[in-house]
Every structure is written in structure tokens, then in C-alpha cells.
Amino acid sequence: MRLISKSIFGTSLVLAASGAAAQSSVTLYGVADTFIQYLDNGGKHSYSERSGGSAGSQFGLKGTEELGGGVNAVFDVETGFNINNGTYFADSNTMFYRQSWVGLKSDAYGQLSFGRQYQPSFWAVYFTDPFRGNEVMSPLAAADLAGATDRSTLATQYVAGRTSNSIVYISPDMRGARFYAMYALASTVSQPIAVASGNMLDLAVNYSGYGFYAALAYQFQHGGRETAPLVPSAPSLLTSFDLMATEHYTAALAYRWGIVNFQANYSYNRSKDVPDGAVVSITPALKVPLSMLVHSYSIAEVGATIQATPVDVIEIAGIQRQVRGVHDNTWGIEVGADHNISKRTSFYMRAGYMKNNGGANMSWPGVSGVAAGSKQVVGVLGMTHRF
């Protein structure tokens, strides 16, 4: 990481204006990650070059300024990009898609920040996913994002991981325990799917110590509205429909024993206040009951991270996504290995399999054209450099 220092002239002006010296710094950081992928998508084979298979390609600026009394002003702005072609990651309309926030931090009282930020529910499970919630190759991310494509859960909202227009409080460390709270105002995005989200509350608490980690989280999303294709044979036919208010309950555990970190997490997601008899109009002649798009579902993951050598890490995870009330479920497994050739550079591989049953169409993120009930096999070789 590189430290960008204020110029001598600029610093002199600040000192002259304030009459006091304040320690401040701004740090440029980032990740460059690319990989070659083989994919068997329901019998259709392909090869491609993609970005962010181990860690999302990104760069950002973060800074801090001492304000006195143990209080600091802090900020972080971070963008994601596809290193294989130079485009924005996920949302071409948003410069700082990953996060952008500013706030105050105190060692004694915690941190209060404002902007686009990671949700407490994300931090609750992050340390229990062997693939660290990676948006491209984590099976946990795949199961979560299936909520945006699975017809049975389209109107049941999913945990997006980040939220705009949010206020977040993070407590100081309290003998291994930490509390997180977020309240977010309504927001609208146009990519990758047009969604108008309602207000949101997210709470989490975790504990880490003696090789043990545990976390609980609760998130409540008010209703919103989404525009998406509802007819698989006509992906260009877009329909607007209401998103139901949704509750998310999350639990996560991990325990390190020697070189092995055993990990597990579980979430249950259910909608509330579904109006009786409500319908969604796809065309004037084609209507479907809203209840077809609103089902509760759970996601369960178990796995392990193994520090095989000082420079080699092995990851393994099994995943299940189960939709309640209909024949719709997915089982999958993924293994990975990372080999560090320096403090900043590593090579990695990933191999995974997932089988959709019934109406399920879960896939690794970024893979389109997934038929319900199909299977996927993926294998990747990649390189990551951090700066």
C-alpha cells in the first residue's frame, strides 16, 4: 500500500489556518485478480477469462485524521472492476460500488459512519465462509444471489451484502464481543437488476476468542419494487412487481483446531404481509399469483479452511439452498487451493459442482442462461496481486 502525504506547502496552510497539527493520512490500496474458467452449464461447455475469482478486483482510498481525545475522522471509497476488460464490476452506473462512507471512530465508543456500507449480516457470516463471500466464486454468494433469478423467491428479498444511504454503528471490542447496527433509507439501483428498496434494519453480534467464533444477525427489509424477466423463454420481456417485506435470520460458527478452521453458517429468509389474491401482470392476457414468487427459503453451508503449509491454503465448502413449499433446491460443493509466492501475490484454483432440482436455477455468479433443474461444473486457475 502507498501512503499519499500532504505537500509541505499544503500542510503549512492547514497549520496556519488551524493553529494546531493533526496527524492525517490517505492510503491507496487494491487487488488485481484474474482467472481462466472452464464451465459446463447444463451440458454447454465454454472457456472464458474473468475477474475476481479469489478476491474482487478493486482499488480504493481510505483515510484517517486525528481530531483529538481519541477520536478520528475516517473514510473509505472503493470501486470494483473487471481486470480482464477494464469495465466496472456489477454496476456500470456506480463509481464506488463496493463501498463509500465517512464517519467518526473512537477506541472507547466505537465507530459511526454514513454512506454505502457492508451490512452487519454480511460480517456475521464472512468469517465462516471458506471462500470469504467472494462475489464470483463463493458458493455462499451463489446461493444468496439465486434470490434474484429463482422464480419461486423473486419477491422474497435476499441479503445483498451492501446497502446505500445507510447509517452504521460498530461497537468497540468488548472482551472479544462486538455489536453492529445499521439503518438504511430507501434506495434505487438499475443494475444488474432494477430494484427500488425500502428502508432496512440490520443487527448483528459476534464473539471471537480462544479459536472460537460465533455470530447472530437479524435483518428486516421493508417492501420494495423490482423489474425483471418472469418468462424464461422471453428474457427481454420485463415485468415490474412488488417485493415483500422480508426477515432474515442468520447464525454462524467457526472453530480452529490446529491447522484446520471448521466453519458453518445458516440463514432463514421469510416474507411478511403477502396480500391475499394479489396478482402480477406480465402481459394484459397473462397474469400470475404473487404468491408464486414469494416463498421462504434457507441457506446452509459447512466447510473448512486448512493452512496446509505457511504458503498454502486449502478450502472446501458444501452448500444447500432449500425453498419451502415447492420442489426447488440446490446442492453443491467447491474446493480450492491458494499458493502464495510472495506477501502480495498468489496463484489459486477452484473446482465446483452444483445440482439444481425442481424449479431451482442457482449458478455461480455471472453465469447466465441457467435452465431450471440443470447442473453446473466449474474449474478455474487464477492469479491475485494485492497492493
Nearest Cα neighbor of 160 from 141, 137, 186, 179 is 141
Strand partners, 312: 309, 339
**Per-residue H/E/C for 44-56:** EEEEEEEECCCCC
* pLDDT given for residue 247 in this prediction: 98
Mean pLDDT of 16-22: 48
pTM of structure: 0.92
pLDDT more than 70, % of the chain = 94
Q: Do the strands 58-68 and 24-41 form a parallel or antiparallel pair, or are they unpaired?
A: antiparallel
* Predicted confidence (pLDDT) at residue 115 exceeds the cutoff of 90: yes
Query: How many C-beta neighbours within 10 Å does residue 266 have?
Result: 17
Summarised one tens digit per residue, pLDDT across range 236-266 is 888 999 999 999 999 999 999 999 999 999 9
Residue 202 — φ and ψ, nearest 5°?
Answer: -140, 125
Summarised one tens digit per residue, pLDDT across range 193-230 is 889 999 999 999 999 999 999 999 999 999 999 998 88
* Predicted confidence (pLDDT) at residue 2 exceeds the cutoff of 70: no
* Predicted confidence (pLDDT) at residue 9 exceeds the cutoff of 50: no
* pLDDT given for residue 11 in this prediction: 43
* Predicted confidence (pLDDT) at residue 117 exceeds the cutoff of 70: yes
* pLDDT given for residue 109 in this prediction: 97
Confidence of residue 374 (pLDDT cuts 50, 70, 90): very high
* pLDDT given for residue 5 in this prediction: 41
Confidence of residue 6 (pLDDT cuts 50, 70, 90): very low
Q: Report which secondary-structure segment, H or E, holds 120.
A: helix 120-126
Residue 10: DSSP 8-state: H
* pLDDT given for residue 21 in this prediction: 54
